[in-house]
Amino acid sequence: MNKLKKWALSGAALSLLLFLSGCVQTKDGQPTGEGWVYKLLVEPMANAITYLVQNFNWNYGWAIIFITIIVRLVILPLGLQQSRKSMIQTEKMAALKPQIDAAQAKLKAATTREEQMQAQTEMQQVYKDNGMSMMGGIGCLPLLIQMPIFSALFYAARYTPGINEASFFGINLGQPSLVFVVLAGIAYLFQSYLSTIGIPEEQKKTMRTMLIVSPLMIVFMSFSSPAGVALYWVVGGVFSCLQTFITNIILKPRIKAQIQEELKKNPPKTVVTPRKDVTPKPAKPVAAPPKKNGNGRNAGKQQRK
Protein backbone atom coordinates (compact mmCIF):
# COMPACT_ATOMS: atom_id res chain seq x y z
CA MET A 1 0.00 0.00 0.00
CA ASN A 2 2.86 2.42 0.76
CA LYS A 3 4.37 1.74 -2.66
CA LEU A 4 0.99 2.38 -4.34
CA LYS A 5 0.62 5.61 -2.41
CA LYS A 6 4.04 6.86 -3.48
CA TRP A 7 3.41 6.00 -7.12
CA ALA A 8 0.04 7.78 -7.00
CA LEU A 9 1.52 10.94 -5.46
CA SER A 10 4.41 10.95 -7.93
CA GLY A 11 1.91 10.65 -10.76
CA ALA A 12 -0.12 13.49 -9.28
CA ALA A 13 3.00 15.70 -9.15
CA LEU A 14 3.81 14.98 -12.80
CA SER A 15 0.18 15.53 -13.82
CA LEU A 16 0.11 18.87 -12.02
CA LEU A 17 3.31 19.87 -13.78
CA LEU A 18 1.90 18.99 -17.20
CA PHE A 19 -1.34 20.81 -16.38
CA LEU A 20 0.45 23.99 -15.35
CA SER A 21 2.80 23.77 -18.32
CA GLY A 22 -0.15 23.84 -20.69
CA CYS A 23 -2.03 26.71 -19.07
CA VAL A 24 0.04 29.61 -20.43
CA GLN A 25 -1.45 30.93 -23.67
CA THR A 26 1.09 31.70 -26.39
CA LYS A 27 0.96 33.28 -29.83
CA ASP A 28 3.80 33.16 -32.35
CA GLY A 29 5.99 31.55 -29.69
CA GLN A 30 5.41 34.30 -27.10
CA PRO A 31 2.96 34.41 -24.15
CA THR A 32 -0.13 36.56 -24.72
CA GLY A 33 -0.15 37.74 -21.10
CA GLU A 34 -3.62 36.27 -20.56
CA GLY A 35 -4.68 33.46 -18.27
CA TRP A 36 -4.52 33.07 -14.52
CA VAL A 37 -1.37 30.95 -14.53
CA TYR A 38 0.60 33.64 -16.33
CA LYS A 39 -0.78 36.52 -14.25
CA LEU A 40 -0.52 34.79 -10.85
CA LEU A 41 2.68 32.77 -11.34
CA VAL A 42 4.79 33.60 -14.37
CA GLU A 43 4.59 37.39 -14.40
CA PRO A 44 5.32 37.83 -10.64
CA MET A 45 8.25 35.39 -10.92
CA ALA A 46 9.71 37.23 -13.92
CA ASN A 47 9.26 40.61 -12.19
CA ALA A 48 10.94 39.34 -8.99
CA ILE A 49 14.00 38.03 -10.87
CA THR A 50 14.25 41.19 -12.98
CA TYR A 51 13.96 43.37 -9.87
CA LEU A 52 16.84 41.57 -8.14
CA VAL A 53 19.03 41.89 -11.25
CA GLN A 54 18.30 45.55 -11.89
CA ASN A 55 18.38 46.83 -8.30
CA PHE A 56 21.20 44.72 -6.85
CA ASN A 57 23.27 44.34 -10.00
CA TRP A 58 23.04 40.54 -9.73
CA ASN A 59 23.46 37.90 -12.37
CA TYR A 60 20.21 36.18 -13.36
CA GLY A 61 21.62 32.90 -12.06
CA TRP A 62 22.22 34.33 -8.59
CA ALA A 63 18.71 35.83 -8.64
CA ILE A 64 17.23 32.39 -9.37
CA ILE A 65 19.34 30.85 -6.59
CA PHE A 66 18.16 33.51 -4.14
CA ILE A 67 14.50 32.90 -4.98
CA THR A 68 15.06 29.14 -4.72
CA ILE A 69 16.56 29.55 -1.24
CA ILE A 70 13.57 31.65 -0.14
CA VAL A 71 11.09 29.08 -1.48
CA ARG A 72 12.94 26.18 0.13
CA LEU A 73 13.19 27.98 3.49
CA VAL A 74 9.44 28.62 3.39
CA ILE A 75 8.56 24.96 2.76
CA LEU A 76 11.34 23.54 4.98
CA PRO A 77 9.18 23.45 8.14
CA LEU A 78 6.47 21.63 6.19
CA GLY A 79 9.00 19.12 4.87
CA LEU A 80 10.37 18.48 8.35
CA GLN A 81 6.87 18.08 9.74
CA GLN A 82 5.96 15.59 7.01
CA SER A 83 9.18 13.64 7.66
CA ARG A 84 8.46 13.57 11.38
CA LYS A 85 4.94 12.23 10.78
CA SER A 86 6.29 9.60 8.43
CA MET A 87 8.89 8.42 10.97
CA ILE A 88 6.31 8.23 13.77
CA GLN A 89 4.02 6.27 11.46
CA THR A 90 6.84 3.86 10.58
CA GLU A 91 7.78 3.20 14.21
CA LYS A 92 4.18 2.59 15.27
CA MET A 93 3.58 0.39 12.22
CA ALA A 94 6.45 -1.84 13.34
CA ALA A 95 4.59 -2.44 16.62
CA LEU A 96 1.37 -3.27 14.75
CA LYS A 97 3.04 -5.48 12.16
CA PRO A 98 2.24 -8.83 13.87
CA GLN A 99 -1.48 -8.00 13.93
CA ILE A 100 -1.44 -6.66 10.36
CA ASP A 101 0.37 -9.77 9.15
CA ALA A 102 -2.22 -11.96 10.87
CA ALA A 103 -5.09 -10.00 9.25
CA GLN A 104 -3.43 -10.23 5.85
CA ALA A 105 -2.94 -13.97 6.31
CA LYS A 106 -6.65 -14.32 7.07
CA LEU A 107 -7.46 -12.29 3.96
CA LYS A 108 -5.32 -14.53 1.78
CA ALA A 109 -6.78 -17.68 3.30
CA ALA A 110 -10.39 -16.46 2.95
CA THR A 111 -12.49 -18.61 0.64
CA THR A 112 -15.81 -16.72 0.82
CA ARG A 113 -16.84 -13.11 0.42
CA GLU A 114 -17.91 -12.95 4.07
CA GLU A 115 -14.50 -14.12 5.26
CA GLN A 116 -12.77 -11.53 3.07
CA MET A 117 -14.98 -8.74 4.42
CA GLN A 118 -14.32 -9.86 8.00
CA ALA A 119 -10.53 -9.89 7.44
CA GLN A 120 -10.62 -6.43 5.84
CA THR A 121 -12.75 -5.09 8.71
CA GLU A 122 -10.29 -6.49 11.25
CA MET A 123 -7.37 -4.85 9.45
CA GLN A 124 -9.16 -1.49 9.41
CA GLN A 125 -10.01 -1.92 13.08
CA VAL A 126 -6.33 -2.48 13.93
CA TYR A 127 -5.50 0.94 12.48
CA LYS A 128 -8.54 2.66 13.92
CA ASP A 129 -8.22 1.38 17.49
CA ASN A 130 -4.55 2.37 17.59
CA GLY A 131 -5.07 5.83 16.09
CA MET A 132 -3.22 5.10 12.85
CA SER A 133 -3.98 6.05 9.26
CA MET A 134 -3.86 3.40 6.55
CA MET A 135 -2.51 6.00 4.09
CA GLY A 136 0.25 7.33 6.37
CA GLY A 137 2.03 10.68 5.93
CA ILE A 138 1.91 12.43 2.57
CA GLY A 139 5.62 12.70 1.87
CA CYS A 140 5.19 14.19 -1.60
CA LEU A 141 3.26 17.27 -0.46
CA PRO A 142 6.33 19.58 -0.50
CA LEU A 143 7.02 18.42 -4.06
CA LEU A 144 3.44 19.22 -5.08
CA ILE A 145 3.80 22.70 -3.60
CA GLN A 146 6.92 23.28 -5.69
CA MET A 147 5.19 22.47 -8.98
CA PRO A 148 3.65 25.96 -9.45
CA ILE A 149 7.07 27.51 -8.71
CA PHE A 150 8.62 25.16 -11.26
CA SER A 151 6.03 26.15 -13.87
CA ALA A 152 6.53 29.87 -13.18
CA LEU A 153 10.32 29.53 -13.51
CA PHE A 154 9.91 27.46 -16.67
CA TYR A 155 8.08 30.21 -18.54
CA ALA A 156 10.02 33.07 -16.91
CA ALA A 157 13.32 31.53 -18.01
CA ARG A 158 11.99 30.87 -21.50
CA TYR A 159 10.13 34.08 -22.34
CA THR A 160 11.33 36.93 -20.09
CA PRO A 161 13.73 39.30 -21.92
CA GLY A 162 17.17 39.09 -20.34
CA ILE A 163 16.66 35.77 -18.54
CA ASN A 164 16.47 33.72 -21.71
CA GLU A 165 19.68 35.31 -22.99
CA ALA A 166 21.68 35.45 -19.74
CA SER A 167 24.49 33.06 -18.87
CA PHE A 168 25.65 31.70 -15.53
CA PHE A 169 29.22 30.41 -15.38
CA GLY A 170 29.15 30.16 -19.14
CA ILE A 171 25.81 28.27 -19.27
CA ASN A 172 22.90 29.83 -21.17
CA LEU A 173 19.98 29.99 -18.71
CA GLY A 174 17.41 30.04 -21.52
CA GLN A 175 18.55 26.75 -23.08
CA PRO A 176 18.65 23.20 -21.63
CA SER A 177 21.93 22.37 -19.92
CA LEU A 178 23.17 18.82 -19.52
CA VAL A 179 25.53 19.97 -16.75
CA PHE A 180 22.68 21.20 -14.56
CA VAL A 181 20.60 18.11 -15.39
CA VAL A 182 23.41 15.84 -14.17
CA LEU A 183 23.98 17.93 -11.04
CA ALA A 184 20.26 17.85 -10.22
CA GLY A 185 20.17 14.07 -10.70
CA ILE A 186 23.23 13.57 -8.48
CA ALA A 187 21.80 15.81 -5.77
CA TYR A 188 18.50 13.93 -5.58
CA LEU A 189 20.21 10.56 -5.89
CA PHE A 190 22.38 11.44 -2.89
CA GLN A 191 19.25 12.57 -1.07
CA SER A 192 17.72 9.16 -1.77
CA TYR A 193 20.83 7.49 -0.33
CA LEU A 194 20.63 9.60 2.84
CA SER A 195 16.99 8.61 3.27
CA THR A 196 18.00 4.92 3.55
CA ILE A 197 20.40 5.44 6.47
CA GLY A 198 19.17 3.62 9.57
CA ILE A 199 16.39 1.75 7.71
CA PRO A 200 16.13 -2.06 7.93
CA GLU A 201 17.17 -4.01 4.85
CA GLU A 202 13.66 -5.37 4.34
CA GLN A 203 12.25 -1.84 4.17
CA LYS A 204 15.04 -0.73 1.84
CA LYS A 205 13.95 -3.33 -0.68
CA THR A 206 10.41 -1.96 -0.77
CA MET A 207 11.73 1.62 -1.13
CA ARG A 208 14.32 0.83 -3.81
CA THR A 209 12.08 1.50 -6.80
CA MET A 210 10.82 4.83 -5.46
CA LEU A 211 14.35 5.94 -4.56
CA ILE A 212 15.36 5.51 -8.19
CA VAL A 213 12.15 6.89 -9.71
CA SER A 214 12.32 10.18 -7.78
CA PRO A 215 15.74 11.30 -9.15
CA LEU A 216 14.74 10.09 -12.63
CA MET A 217 11.62 12.22 -12.48
CA ILE A 218 13.71 15.29 -11.59
CA VAL A 219 16.13 14.49 -14.43
CA PHE A 220 13.21 14.11 -16.85
CA MET A 221 11.72 17.47 -15.87
CA SER A 222 15.11 19.23 -15.99
CA PHE A 223 16.21 17.68 -19.30
CA SER A 224 13.51 19.43 -21.33
CA SER A 225 13.60 22.69 -19.34
CA PRO A 226 15.74 25.82 -19.60
CA ALA A 227 18.92 25.79 -17.52
CA GLY A 228 17.38 28.41 -15.23
CA VAL A 229 14.77 25.84 -14.16
CA ALA A 230 17.36 23.05 -13.79
CA LEU A 231 19.36 25.42 -11.58
CA TYR A 232 16.32 25.63 -9.32
CA TRP A 233 16.30 21.83 -8.97
CA VAL A 234 20.05 21.72 -8.31
CA VAL A 235 19.73 24.14 -5.38
CA GLY A 236 16.55 22.40 -4.28
CA GLY A 237 18.38 19.06 -4.30
CA VAL A 238 21.04 20.45 -1.98
CA PHE A 239 18.29 21.61 0.39
CA SER A 240 16.66 18.18 0.19
CA CYS A 241 19.95 16.56 1.23
CA LEU A 242 20.19 18.95 4.17
CA GLN A 243 16.59 18.23 5.20
CA THR A 244 17.09 14.46 4.93
CA PHE A 245 20.29 14.67 6.98
CA ILE A 246 18.45 16.55 9.72
CA THR A 247 15.54 14.10 9.80
CA ASN A 248 17.43 10.78 9.42
CA ILE A 249 20.63 11.48 11.34
CA ILE A 250 19.48 13.93 14.01
CA LEU A 251 15.72 13.58 14.54
CA LYS A 252 15.10 9.90 13.80
CA PRO A 253 17.05 8.41 16.78
CA ARG A 254 15.24 10.76 19.13
CA ILE A 255 11.81 10.00 17.67
CA LYS A 256 12.51 6.25 17.74
CA ALA A 257 13.45 6.36 21.43
CA GLN A 258 10.40 8.51 22.19
CA ILE A 259 7.99 6.13 20.43
CA GLN A 260 9.54 3.06 22.10
CA GLU A 261 9.08 4.67 25.52
CA GLU A 262 5.52 5.62 24.61
CA LEU A 263 4.72 2.07 23.49
CA LYS A 264 6.04 0.67 26.77
CA LYS A 265 3.58 2.83 28.69
CA ASN A 266 0.69 2.34 26.24
CA PRO A 267 1.07 -0.94 24.32
CA PRO A 268 -0.88 -1.33 21.07
CA LYS A 269 -4.46 -2.55 21.43
CA THR A 270 -4.86 -6.13 20.32
CA VAL A 271 -7.57 -6.50 17.69
CA VAL A 272 -6.25 -9.50 15.78
CA THR A 273 -4.38 -12.20 17.63
CA PRO A 274 -0.97 -12.57 15.99
CA ARG A 275 -0.23 -15.99 14.60
CA LYS A 276 2.29 -18.09 16.43
CA ASP A 277 4.74 -19.93 14.25
CA VAL A 278 4.30 -23.58 15.01
CA THR A 279 7.46 -25.55 14.52
CA PRO A 280 6.67 -29.11 13.48
CA LYS A 281 7.83 -31.68 16.00
CA PRO A 282 10.53 -34.01 14.73
CA ALA A 283 9.25 -37.47 13.90
CA LYS A 284 10.01 -40.23 16.38
CA PRO A 285 12.79 -42.50 15.17
CA VAL A 286 11.52 -45.82 13.93
CA ALA A 287 12.99 -48.78 15.77
CA ALA A 288 15.34 -50.72 13.57
CA PRO A 289 14.33 -54.33 12.90
CA PRO A 290 16.35 -56.94 14.87
CA LYS A 291 19.43 -58.06 13.11
CA LYS A 292 19.47 -61.61 11.94
CA ASN A 293 22.40 -63.86 12.58
CA GLY A 294 24.20 -64.93 9.50
CA ASN A 295 23.57 -68.68 10.30
CA GLY A 296 19.91 -68.44 9.40
CA ARG A 297 16.72 -69.40 11.30
CA ASN A 298 18.36 -72.22 13.29
CA ALA A 299 21.14 -70.03 14.68
CA GLY A 300 19.33 -69.51 18.01
CA LYS A 301 18.79 -73.19 18.49
CA GLN A 302 22.43 -73.90 17.82
CA GLN A 303 23.50 -71.29 20.40
CA ARG A 304 21.28 -72.87 23.08
CA LYS A 305 22.88 -76.26 22.59
Residue 234 lies in a domain: yes
Residue 287 lies in a domain: no
Residue 24 lies in a domain: no
Residue 204 lies in a domain: yes
Which tens digit of pLDDT belongs to each residue from 206-234?
777 777 888 888 898 888 888 988 898 89
Which tens digit of pLDDT belongs to each residue from 128-175?
877 776 655 545 556 666 677 777 777 777 777 788 788 899 899 888
**Cα–Cα–Cα angle for 279, 283, 288, rounded to 5 degrees:** 165
Which tens digit of pLDDT belongs to each residue from 23-41?
555 555 566 556 666 777 7
Note every long-range contact of 10-13, with CB atoms under 8 Å and residues 24 or more positions apart, other chains counting: 10/140, 10/210, 10/213, 10/214, 10/217, 12/140, 12/144, 13/140, 13/143, 13/144, 13/147, 13/217
Residue 186 lies in a domain: yes
* Ordered DSSP codes for 30-68: EE-S-SHHIIIIIHHHHHHHHHHHHHH---HHHHHHHHH
Rounded alpha-carbon distances, angstroms, from residue 163 to 44, 49, 65, 174: 14, 8, 13, 7
pLDDT at residue 299 tops 50: no
The alpha carbon of residue 237 and the mean position of all alpha carbons in its chain are separated, in whole angstroms, by: 14
Residue 273 lies in a domain: no
Residue 154 lies in a domain: yes
- Percentage of the chain beyond pLDDT 70 is 72
Residue 288 lies in a domain: no
Q: Quick one: average pLDDT of 271-300? A: 53
Q: What's the predicted TM-score (pTM) here?
A: 0.67
How many domains does the chain contain in total? 1
Range of the structural domain that residue 74 is part of: 32-265
